[in-house]
């Protein structure tokens, strides 16, 4: 179907529940999608009715675009869609091509009529296309848990038709909930905590404490690798490497052993607090 214009149609989840600030959340999601897919073959990023569309330069770039959209927080699910003229007979002529290679016994049609000037209601389109697909394939209509769902969005410029749903992480777009400072160790807890805060819309800055040159650079390299993975979700990250070796030596020389770990951690928090204030982070 290389003769049809392809789009990625991105659907949100909880963003639809927002009130007067919903447009701001949607704009932030749109900006993040634009940043995430830069250089991947996206011609244009635009907002529809409760969704964001990404126009692809051609079908060959879909695998890369799909991979990048999956990492964008705020995206609940998305689809590869085809754009057709606003003509129901033309859509019916294309349906055999859309269904080629698909095996299913039950299906449903789900229509969203964003363009209210279209002469048929959503239910009328559902019935018309449902009868056509049933006659064409012999499959039965099943509104709950069908094997295949054909989505039709009736937009002002034409139809958007899509099938296969791709699940994403959901959450809120990174950047809508302020900045937080993450004390990043080499373990699993701190990167998971960072991931969860980013999913709730926080921009994360990272602070890693190391004892180099008293020890090797292994922990520093591991922290940098973790930040590289997490940056896929927020596109730009700051990692502060904070040397703790001299402080550790002073504590060892002057404090009882039972207090050492507590004092190490106390200094880590104090240093992180200074860095957080300088970088306008609101939480640690």
Specify the pairing of strand 5-11 against strand 203-210: unpaired
CATH number at residue 185: 3.40.50.620
| Whether residue 154 sits in one domain with residue 120 | yes
* Nearest residue to 52 via CA among 71, 68, 32: 32
Q: How many CB atoms lie within 10 A of CB 88?
A: 19
Tokens of 32: 């993040």
| Interacting residues of 5 by C-beta distance below 8 A, sequence separation 6+ | 55, 56, 82, 83
pTM: 0.85
Domain count, the chain: 2
pLDDT given at position 203: 96
| Whether residue 236 sits in one domain with residue 150 | no
* Nearest residue to 223 via CA among 175, 188, 267, 275: 188
| Whether residue 244 sits in one domain with residue 116 | no
Is residue 174, in this structure, part of any structural domain at all?
no
Mean pLDDT by 10 residues, the chain (284 residues): 86 80 91 94 87 91 95 94 94 94 94 92 96 95 94 92 92 94 91 96 95 85 94 94 92 92 94 96 94
Is residue 172, in this structure, part of any structural domain at all?
no
| Whether residue 151 sits in one domain with residue 95 | yes
Is residue 283, in this structure, part of any structural domain at all?
no
CA 219 to CA 282: how far, in whole Å?
26
pLDDT given at position 125: 96
């Amino acid at each position: 179907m290389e003769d049809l214009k392809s789009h990625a149609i991105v659907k949100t989840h909880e963003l639809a529940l927002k009130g007067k600030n919903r447009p701001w959340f949607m704009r932030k999601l749109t900006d993040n999608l634009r940043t995430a897919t830069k250089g991947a073959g996206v011609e244009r990023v635009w907002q529809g009715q409760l969704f964001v569309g990404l126009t692809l330069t051609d079908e060959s770039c879909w695998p890369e675009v799909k991979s990048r959209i999956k990492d964008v927080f705020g995206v609940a699910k998305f689809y590869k869609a085809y754009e057709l003229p606003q003509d129901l007979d033309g859509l019916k002529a294309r349906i055999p091509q859309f269904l080629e290679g698909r095996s299913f016994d039950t299906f449903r049609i789900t229509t969203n009529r964003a363009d209210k000037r279209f002469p048929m209601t959503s239910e009328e389109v559902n019935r018309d296309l449902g009868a056509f697909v049933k006659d064409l394939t012999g499959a039965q209509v099943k509104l709950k848990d069908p094997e295949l769902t054909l989505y039709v969005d009736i937009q002002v410029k034409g139809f958007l038709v899509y099938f296969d749903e791709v699940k994403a992480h959901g959450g809120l777009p990174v950047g809508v909930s302020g900045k937080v400072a993450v004390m990043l160790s080499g373990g699993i807890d701190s990167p998971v905590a960072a991931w969860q805060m980013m999913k709730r819309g926080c921009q994360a800055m990272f602070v890693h404490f190391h004892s180099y040159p008293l020890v090797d650079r292994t922990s520093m390299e591991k922290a940098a690798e973790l930040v590289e993975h997490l940056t896929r979700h927020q596109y730009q990250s700051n990692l502060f490497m904070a040397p703790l070796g001299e402080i550790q030596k002073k504590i060892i020389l002057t404090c009882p052993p039972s207090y050492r770990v507590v004092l190490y951690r106390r200094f880590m928090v104090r240093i992180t607090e200074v860095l957080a204030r300088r970088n306008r982070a609101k939480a640690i």
